[in-house]
Amino acid sequence: MSIKFVQRQTPRFFGKLAVLAFVSFSIPLVSAAESATDNSSWENNLRPAIVEAGRPVPHWSLHDRMAYYHIPGVAVAVLRNGKVWQVKGYGLREAGTNDKVDGDTLFSAGSISKVATAMMILRMVRAGKLDLDRNIDTYLTSWHVPATKDTPHPDVTLRMLMSHTSGFNVGGFPDFLPQEQVPTLLQTLDGLPPAKHHAVRLIYSPGSRYAYSGGGIEVEQQLLEDMTHTDFATAAHTWLLDPLHMQRSTFESPLSASRGNIAKAHDEQGKLIALPRGWQSFPEQAASGLWTSANELGAMVAMLIESYQGHNGFLSRALATQMMSPVSPSPQGLGPELLGSGNGRVFFHSGSNDNYRAWMEGYLETGDGFVILTNSPNGARLRLEIRHALSDMIGQGVDPVLHAVSLDPADVSYADYQGTYRLDNSVPMDVRGRLADDFDADSFQITMSHGKASMRVPGDDNVHQLEALSPTRFVDPDSDSMPLMQLEFHRDARGKVRAASVESGDYRAYYRRQ
């Protein structure tokens, strides 16, 4: 039941619009030398999401967990009051060397690129160049949205693309090793060799449901290239990187070794891969091609917070508010995912290329936040443990520890949970939200044994052993998702178990017991 957290010159016709893209914004950065002297308690307070019944909450050091997961390098930036407060590197850019990670080391940020691309689009919206609710085919010139039997006249908008409600397929993309030929953008969109995925096509009616689509973000890339008459990496400098003084960051593909201070890719055992260069290519630039540092990604998060609070002009407050409001039935706004309320309202996004894992998160009201960069696939677990520690330090209750409970194995009533549960499709997509994609199962089966529950999902060979949080609520302890999906059983007024809800954050999917 684990969640899927599942790319010339500026054209003459831009005129005054291009001036806005080049306006500079002051972002306080922390130098590597300054940040190396800072320290905080979170580094020794990493923890799991769930603690077994009767056990105290364990706390681990970052150093020990990096060794446990065989992760050579990590970089972390911490924000306070909307400013980058601390930046620090841990470990090595390349295992077996003395090349240390610092706050300026470049890492692949994976799908955090989607948020950066969204910022470019919103800057162009603010400049009057794009409209969030206009049919994108009126902007596209090199490629058009193919009609389908179910959608003969596609009307896809930027708002849909940015919130993953466009109906496009292709969730993510495999990376390319140094010796492999990479596809052009048109080959990417049409799924033609050397692309390694299916063609990007509509599989749902636009706007009808949430379906995370890196393919849809590549449509954004084509639109931006068509509208700016330049390549994506150049457009990114014009509309994002240069205005934010992100001088190290780039969408260059492949990344040139001449940039230096690059975290190289490692496998699950901590061994260097993607040789001889040491990192892959990410030709799907808008979806997954950003290379950045903890210093600069932290500054980007800070700028989003300040825009939302009305403290700078990078984005208008109105546009920043739209960016940070979910587009129903999606859990995402215009780029980032969203969760919580009040001082605990956060925006976030993960990044997961083959051998890099990343995380960004910002607290919209308090100005707290952090970014996490790693050069190992095992960073998927470590970034969540770091997040637990940082969330505890921030103290807004966004990511509380979950304490499992022991159920009485002699209580025969728990056997009532056993059976097959089938999705009730009458529940609106506005309620189901992210679960339409992250837990897209028509049915599942529950078995009980000695007070322990397990779940089987058709098409999934794994048996998910669940931990009880209460007599009716369970969670998958092996999930690496955020927020964790939970299962709540519903026993009616006659004592019969009639249904179960799968829950993730604010969203619910309802399954009736057969």
Q: Do 369 and 481 share a domain, yes or no? A: no
pLDDT of residue 40: 57
C-alpha dist (Å) from residue 199 to 109, 203, 322, 324: 24, 11, 30, 30
Is 13 a member of any domain?
no
Q: Do 383 and 501 share a domain, yes or no? A: no
Instruction: Give the helix ranges, DSSP H, for 23-102.
Output: 32-36, 62-69
Q: Can you give the C-alpha Rg of the chain in angstroms?
A: 23
Q: How many residues does the chain have?
A: 514
Rounded-to-integer distance, Cα 113 and Cα 465, Å: 34
Q: What's the CATH number where 111 sits?
A: 3.40.710.10
Q: What 8-state DSSP symbol labels residue 46?
A: B
Is 406 a member of any domain?
no
Give residue 216's domain range. Answer: 61-394
pLDDT of residue 371: 98
Q: Do 390 and 495 share a domain, yes or no? A: no
Maximum separation of any 2 CA atoms in the chain, in Å: 77
Q: Do 121 and 246 share a domain, yes or no? A: yes
pLDDT of residue 34: 38
Is 48 a member of any domain?
no
Q: 90: closest CA among 63, 113, 119, 112?
A: 63
Rounded-to-integer distance, Cα 306 and Cα 310, Å: 6
Q: Do 289 and 321 share a domain, yes or no? A: yes
Q: Do 365 and 419 share a domain, yes or no? A: no
pLDDT of residue 481: 67
pLDDT of residue 183: 98
Q: Do 373 and 463 share a domain, yes or no? A: no
Asked whether 431 and 508 are in contact (CB, 8 A), the reply is yes
Q: 289: closest CA among 230, 231, 363?
A: 231
Looking from the CA of 482 toward its CB, the CA atoms found within 13 Å total 29
Is 11 a member of any domain?
no
Sheet holding 356-363, edge to edge: 83-91, 73-80, 369-374, 356-363, 346-353, 337-339
Query: Looking at the DSSP assignment, which residues form a beta bridge with residue 129?
Result: none
Is 110 a member of any domain?
yes
Rounded-to-integer distance, Cα 344 and Cα 364, Å: 8
Distance of CA 134 to the CA centre of its chain: 26
pLDDT of residue 480: 64
pTM: 0.92
Q: Domains in the chain: how many in total? A: 2
pLDDT of residue 38: 43
Q: Do 237 and 354 share a domain, yes or no? A: yes
Q: Do 118 and 148 share a domain, yes or no? A: yes
Q: Do 296 and 378 share a domain, yes or no? A: yes
pLDDT of residue 482: 73
Q: Do 419 and 387 share a domain, yes or no? A: no
Cis peptide bond N-terminal to 254, omega within 30: yes
Residue 44 sits at the vertex; the CA angle it makes with 41 and 48, to the nearest 5 degrees, is: 115
pLDDT mean by block of 10 residues, the chain; 514 residues: 36 32 43 41 96 95 98 98 97 98 98 98 98 98 97 98 98 97 98 98 98 98 98 98 98 98 98 98 98 98 98 95 98 97 97 98 98 98 97 95 95 96 97 94 96 94 95 87 89 97 95 98
